[in-house]
Amino acid sequence: MEQKIFVTRTSMPPYEEFAEMIKPLWNTHWLTNMGKYHQELEQKLREYLQVEQLSLMVNGHMSLEMAIQAMQFPEGSEVITTPFTFVSTTHAIIRNRLKPVFCDIKPTDFTIDESKMEALITDKTVAIVPVHVYGNICNVEEIGRIAAKHGLTVIYDAAHAFGETYKGKGIGSFGDASVFSFHATKVYNTIEGGAVASASPDLYQKLYNLKNFGILNENVIADIGANAKMNEFAAIMGLCNLRYVQDNIKIRKKKVQLYNEQLADLSCVRTPEFSQPDVVYNYAYYPVVFATAEYRDIVYDRLKEENIYSRKYFYPLTSDADCFGDRYSTCALDVARDISARVLVLPLYPDMDDDVIVEIAQDIHKISGQAGM
Ligand SMILES: *Cc1c(COP(=O)(O)O)cnc(C)c1O
């Protein structure tokens, strides 16, 4: 490949459209602090995501931190979560002075294994933080049942699930809250951004204060908040990009089908199915799983030599992050560890040439032939 191909490429609206939309800011000089466009985007995203409440934030990570903080769990409480995620999920728990308890994942869709969850519940457990991985949806029904039975809060990391629905309902309407990321690398972006969705006006109000230093009004500082507000430039980027996201998802779906066709006859590669019942997907990622960890690493290295930058996503498991040492004991994470060693996310974005997909697939055929996979 002459040009470097990265795992993703940020979707941007036409320049003139964005330029036209930011012009009024030079009249109002109102660039942040829950301005006009912040409010407009909150409303538009409530509709698009089919959720009752939505609080815009500066990024997905702060959305997770604020959502967890808003629940006011006692310090040191335990939170059941998955190690097969971006480290943000785990950091958000720990930065709230809570203890992550890692649960294994399912080999089928890589989401948290709800059948292994109840064994991890202790009298200190307060919440479950599952992740919809690569747009695969967690078993929201069973997780809801377990949470209700044990009185636990459920906060979904829905950073990979923008715009998805399950049984016709917005994916952000499950659990007590769901967190989205609008980072430049995601299906839908506001440059940097994120949001907490829920059905609770009370939570919306709490987050409104928390993201603005915990300030309730001119006289009352009610909470130890932070600064996590989305600014007006980001909100306008979001309003522009929202016009194109549905078309982009359609294009992504076609590219996923093309990849699947091109890789179908390779027995050493498992291609993604996106076939959970009643789910409408966003095709955010194209993850493949190789027969062995060795093959995965060979393909990763060889593609890189061809200027194709795939990602070992998610590797390592967050439970193995160096910064945690062995502070957080983990139960057997056999499936997570196995998948993490064999998974590779291939480049996928709407304005990617189909020829590039064909070439990447041919490269993988060639590499696997040479490596005797
Ligand atoms: C991107 C991502 C985040 C963090 O979102 P930012 O907007 O980058 O802060 C959290 N969790 C998962 C699973 C993600 O993919």
> In this structure, what token pair is assigned to residue 89?
């999920």
Mean pLDDT of the chain: 97
Q: What is the pLDDT of residue 244?
A: 98
In contact, 25 and 219? CB cutoff 8 Å:
no
Position 68 pLDDT exceeds 80: yes
Question: What is the CA(188)–ligand 1 centre distance, in A?
Answer: 12
Residue 341 CA: distances (Å) to CA of 135, 294, 313, 370: 20, 9, 10, 21
Residues with CB under 6 A from ligand 1: 59-61, 85-86, 88-89, 131, 157, 159-160, 181, 183, 194
What is the average per-residue pLDDT within 156-185?
Answer: 98
Q: What is the pLDDT of residue 372?
A: 87
Q: Which of 8, 63, 84, 88 to mutate to test the pocket of ligand 1 (most atoms within 8 A of CB)?
A: 88
In tens, the pLDDT along 246-269 reads: 999 999 999 999 999 999 999 999
Q: What is the pLDDT of residue 16?
A: 98
In the sheet with 194-198, reading across from the earlier edge strand, the strands are 53-57, 194-198, 177-181, 153-157, 125-129, 78-81, 99-102
Question: What is the CA(88)–ligand 1 centre distance, in A?
Answer: 6
Provide the whole-model pTM.
Answer: 0.98
Q: What is the pLDDT of residue 371?
A: 86
In contact, 333 and 234? CB cutoff 8 Å:
no
In tens, the pLDDT along 283-304 reads: 999 999 999 999 999 999 999 9
Q: Using alpha carbons only, how large is the chain's radius of gyration in Å?
A: 21
Q: Which of 7, 56, 61 to mutate to test the pocket of ligand 1 (most atoms within 8 A of CB)?
A: 61
Residue 233 CA, chain-centre distance (Å), reads: 22
Task: Round to whole Å and give the CA distance between 181 and 318.
Answer: 18
In tens, the pLDDT along 322-371 reads: 999 888 876 789 999 999 999 999 999 999 999 999 999 999 999 999 98
The residues, any chain, with a CB within 8 Å of residue 120's CB and separated by 6 or more, are 80, 101, 103, 331
Q: What is the pLDDT of residue 234?
A: 98
Binned at pLDDT 50, 70 and 90, residue 46 comes out as very high
Question: What is the CA(82)–ligand 1 centre distance, in A?
Answer: 14
Task: Round to whole Å and give the CA distance between 247 and 18.
Answer: 18
